[in-house]
Amino acid sequence: MFKYLNLKKKQLRRQYYEKRVRRKAAHIKGRIWCNKKVKVSEKTYLGDNVCFDGAQLGGEGKITIGDNFHAATGLTIVSSWHDYEGKKLPFDEGWISKDVTIGDNVWVGEDVLILGGAEIGDGAVIQARSVVTGKIPALAIAGGHPAKVFAYRDEEHYKKLAEAKEWHSYSWNNYMT
């Protein structure tokens, strides 16, 4: 009985955050999964089968995330910051904004920070606790501060799975047993 009540509580929490994201985001192509607290900006564009385990996406820059995106706990995307080269110290009232683009089939580890101007290519994997500041190419495996590419996924294997449409996705039914 208690297990069922806990699962029901988690389901209600998920539904609440998913509704909140759907109301705030500029566009959502399809299914989303918000396992924990998720905040997005009104300049957020999400693909289909986007899964967050808690995230904060904010700023004045456009944030675009492709299909089949999965992020572990603690993802933060910052697309704008105070203008530190303005007319006052340490910063003035102005903002510097840069867009963030994340491709399809990207997997982001725990506590990753992605800054404005970052571009992450299709199929990339970002290691936990990394800071992404620039361009990460398709199929790259990157990590560190700033994130640097240290390996690549097997391209033939990736293409085979993509052509077969073998996507990982969450279903509430998987968690009710």
Give, in order, the Cα–Cα distances in Å from 168 to each of 67, 70, 96, 130: 11, 9, 36, 23
- Bridge partners of 34? 52
Question: For residue 87, how many other CB atoms are within 10 A of its CB?
Answer: 9
Helix, strand, or coil (residue 30): coil
Instruction: Cite the beta strand spans of 4-137 per DSSP E.
Output: 27-28, 32-34, 38-39, 44-46, 50-52, 55-58, 63-65, 70-71, 75-78, 80-82, 95-97, 100-102, 107-108, 113-115, 119-120, 125-126, 131-132, 135-136
- List 27, 70, 82, 168, catalytic entry: 82
Query: CA 11: distance to chain centroid?
Result: 21
Tell me, yes or no, if 145 is annotated catalytic: no
Please state whether the peptide bond connecting residue 137 to the residue before it is cis, i.e. omega within 30 degrees of 0: no
Active-site residues, by number, are 82
